[in-house]
Amino acid sequence: MFFHDISYMKKVFNMYEHYFSKIEYVSSVDSERHEKVSLLRNDEIDIMFTTTILERGVTLEYLDVVIVHTEKFTSSAIIQIAGRVGRKLSCPTGKVVCYHEGITKNMLHAKNEISKMNSLARKKGWIT
């Protein structure tokens, strides 16, 4: 789950941590961020709350993404976050769910760009 704000992320995490055993949060100011990301990569965490520090360079199987307050993200951040899903050949699918308080130009731009890129990839035979 991607959040736009560290303090808001922590508040939401505090509500959810009582219901899930393999849940964690991470941000750029977290001194244990490298260890937590390693736990996520090793399937020791099922739910990770994060800021945009995980929008690039993370490739996981069986990944679904939730963007909380999507209206607060730039179009490039939305594209990068959505791009985490389906990157493994062993699991080329997944969901991107956006929770928002109204659709913004950035959200529409991101959707259009993702559609264009996927269309181009299909034409080139990179995806089916």
Tokens 């990944």 found at: 63
Digit-by-digit pLDDT tens for the chain (128 residues) are 999 999 999 999 999 999 999 999 999 899 999 999 999 889 999 999 999 877 666 778 888 999 999 999 999 999 999 988 887 777 788 899 999 999 999 999 999 999 999 999 899 988 77
The residues pairing with 66 across neighbouring beta strands, listed in sequence order, are: 97
- Structure confidence at residue 59 (pLDDT): 79
* Interior angle at CA 101, CA 100 and CA 105, nearest 5: 80
Does this model's pTM top 0.85? yes
